Amino acid sequence: MMVTKLTSFLNHQLTIKQVKHIHALILINGLNHLEPMIISQIITRRSNCSQTHIRYLRSIIRYSKHPNIVSRTSMVSFLYENGEFEEALADYLDMQRSGILPCGSSVASAIKACTRLGNRNGGKMLHGQVYGYGICGDVRVGTALVGFYEKVDDMENAKKVFDEMSERNAPCFVINRYLESGNLRMAERVFSETGKGDVDSWDSMVSWYTRTGDMEKAIATFGPMAVKTSFSWSAMITGYVDSGNMEIARNFYDVTPEQNSVSCVKMINGYSNDGDVESAREIFDEMEVKDDLLYNAMITCYAQNGRPDDALQLFDEMLQPNVNIRPSNMTLATIIYVCSQSGNLIFGSWIHERLMKQMRIEMDDHVCVALIELYAKCARLDKAYGLFHGLRKKHAGVYTILILACSRNGWKHDAIKLFEEMLEANICPDLVTFSGLLTALNHVGMVQEKSIHLNHDH
């Protein structure tokens, strides 16, 4: 009942204050699998966010036990657009380390962040990666690189990148520069005068309208396109999903000449947020060639909508010899969380102790935190502590998991020690942390003493 109500609320546009209230309920009730919907609420807001809101969103994404691929790739652009250039670049690099393949928009945003920071080495490094990712023909990336080399006064490389974009991209280059500077009126003027014979210019305008939520202009531009590219089809689908109109998004998806993984993942995420698991599975089943992104999206959909058995079954299918898709760390973190929610210690520990070793998958913080929660909930505090000490970056969420577990299992002094360690590290506890601490203090008869101590300190 609680999941249904919260999901229903999160399917409507909310204020930041309302989002935070719902997030608190999610944390208190242990419904962390709904966090991607919180992220989506903030990241798709059309209004500008304050620095406080940006920090709040960044902390959710960085420490979420259920990272969402679309959220992670969108976060880089979100941070850049809100002036967080250093964080945009850091998040891009963290995304790479997590094994998430960046899209053209996230790479372009990372390059533009280097431009604003004057990070010459970073920009050149990203230029080298462009070829490895096979997106050297992406006009957004090319435009960002030209702007970067102009900023660092390397006109030779700027000209080289511009020439590689080819003559047909010249109108698109001008249009994109106007769009990036926020001058939509001039971008529309150039498009009207010189860009209508250029396929990439059409793509740029359609993409801009969908990203800014102006679906009326998007469809008005998309309709007359002589050559509708896969990029524009994907942009239209994304725009309608983000605006909450899954029916129109599905109509576009069904008639897309070449359905791709990006659009499929977007549709699955959209249906997942609506609680329409059957439609999400239908989209998943229709794709003949499936990759780890698709499996991760569908497994996450099952996890978000309270269907752990289906999530485990799909994960098992993913590992079968006839499928044989190597799971990403994001997928492992999600499936371990499913094990945690259902109390399936055997399967979760099998992933940790056998599967990851067999596949030579390196532990990252997302998987580590998921395993800590699993072992903590299943009263294996020895294993939880072992992983906790090896965690590269500890945050409030993981401290809270252990404090609650220690309180439940009679390790009262350990709970108090963890809380004190948390304060020493300047990590702010939340309501759930205090709940676990008070339980521990109550059992050792220290509530009044600690209350006085905390009031004195703060």
Last residue of a domain, one of 36, 67, 98: 67
- Mean pLDDT (the chain) is 82
Could you tell me if residue 344 is inside a domain? Answer: yes
Would you call 8 exposed, middle or buried from its count of C-beta atoms within 10 A (0-12, 13-18, 19+)? exposed
In this prediction, residues 343-368 reach a mean pLDDT of 91
In this prediction, residues 366-375 reach a mean pLDDT of 92
Tens digit of pLDDT for each residue in 90-107?
A: 888 888 777 677 778 888
Residues 6+ apart with CB under 8 A from 50: none
Residues 6+ apart with CB under 8 A from 260: 230, 234
Proportion of the chain above pLDDT 70, given as a percent = 81
Tokens of 9: 């609320």
Confidence of residue 79 (pLDDT cuts 50, 70, 90): confident
Could you tell me if residue 341 is inside a domain? Answer: yes
Could you tell me if residue 93 is inside a domain? Answer: no
The model carries a pTM of 0.61
End-to-end CA distance of the chain: 38
Q: Is 91 left (phi over 0), alpha (psi -120 to 50) or beta?
A: alpha
My answer on whether 301 and 361 are in the same domain is: yes
Give the model's pLDDT for residue 341. 86
Confidence of residue 173 (pLDDT cuts 50, 70, 90): confident
Give the model's pLDDT for residue 442. 63
| Residue 21 domain boundaries | 1-67
| Cβ 60 vs Cβ 39: under 8 Å | yes
In this prediction, residues 48-61 reach a mean pLDDT of 68
My answer on whether 356 and 379 are in the same domain is: yes
Would you call 34 exposed, middle or buried from its count of C-beta atoms within 10 A (0-12, 13-18, 19+)? buried
Last residue of a domain, one of 336, 367, 387: 387
My answer on whether 296 and 366 are in the same domain is: yes
- Angle CA 243–169–88, to nearest 5: 50
Tens digit of pLDDT for each residue in 388-406?
A: 888 888 888 888 888 888 8
Q: Is 138 left (phi over 0), alpha (psi -120 to 50) or beta?
A: beta
In this predicted structure, the answer to whether residue 183 has a pLDDT above a threshold of 90 is: no
Could you tell me if residue 336 is inside a domain? Answer: yes
Element (H, E) at 41: helix 35-43
Confidence of residue 452 (pLDDT cuts 50, 70, 90): very low
Residue 32 DSSP one-character state:
G
My answer on whether 378 and 404 are in the same domain is: no
Residues written for the chain: 458
Comparing 6 with 399, the larger pLDDT belongs to: 399
What is the rounded CA–CA span in Å between residue 336 and residue 347? 8
Comparing 83 with 449, the larger pLDDT belongs to: 83
My answer on whether 373 and 420 are in the same domain is: no
In this predicted structure, the answer to whether residue 450 has a pLDDT above a threshold of 50 is: no
- Angle CA 332–428–40, to nearest 5: 50
Total structural domains within the chain:
3
Give the model's pLDDT for residue 447. 46
My answer on whether 360 and 294 are in the same domain is: yes
My answer on whether 373 and 448 are in the same domain is: no
DSSP notation for 323-342:
T--PPPHHHHHHHHHHHHHH
Confidence of residue 458 (pLDDT cuts 50, 70, 90): very low
In this prediction, residues 141-150 reach a mean pLDDT of 83
What is the rounded CA–CA span in Å between residue 72 and residue 67? 7
In this predicted structure, the answer to whether residue 6 has a pLDDT above a threshold of 50 is: yes
Q: Which of 41-50, 109-118, 349-358 has the lowest mean pLDDT?
A: 41-50
Last residue of a domain, one of 14, 47, 67: 67
My answer on whether 423 and 317 are in the same domain is: no
* Residue 342: other Cβ atoms inside 10 A: 14
Confidence of residue 454 (pLDDT cuts 50, 70, 90): very low
Comparing 19 with 226, the larger pLDDT belongs to: 226
* Residue 441: other Cβ atoms inside 10 A: 21
In this prediction, residues 338-342 reach a mean pLDDT of 90
Give the model's pLDDT for residue 208. 93
Could you tell me if residue 190 is inside a domain? Answer: no
Give the model's pLDDT for residue 44. 64
Give the model's pLDDT for residue 14. 67
What is the rounded CA–CA span in Å between residue 137 and residue 79? 24
My answer on whether 317 and 380 are in the same domain is: yes
My answer on whether 293 and 382 are in the same domain is: yes
Residues 6+ apart with CB under 8 A from 392: 365
Confidence of residue 449 (pLDDT cuts 50, 70, 90): very low
In this predicted structure, the answer to whether residue 304 has a pLDDT above a threshold of 70 is: yes
Residues 6+ apart with CB under 8 A from 85: 79, 113, 116, 117
Proportion of the chain above pLDDT 90, given as a percent = 30
My answer on whether 353 and 411 are in the same domain is: no
Give the model's pLDDT for residue 408. 81
In this predicted structure, the answer to whether residue 62 has a pLDDT above a threshold of 80 is: no
Query: What are the distances in angstroms from CA 338 to CA 37, 38, 333, 347, 391?
Result: 17, 19, 9, 10, 21
Could you tell me if residue 266 is inside a domain? Answer: no
Give the model's pLDDT for residue 451. 45
Could you tell me if residue 438 is inside a domain? Answer: yes
Give the model's pLDDT for residue 159. 75
Tens digit of pLDDT for each residue in 187-245?
A: 898 888 776 777 888 999 999 999 999 999 999 999 999 888 888 999 999 999 999 99
My answer on whether 321 and 406 are in the same domain is: no
Confidence of residue 383 (pLDDT cuts 50, 70, 90): very high
Could you tell me if residue 126 is inside a domain? Answer: no
Tens digit of pLDDT for each residue in 255-289?
A: 998 888 889 999 999 999 999 999 999 999 999 88
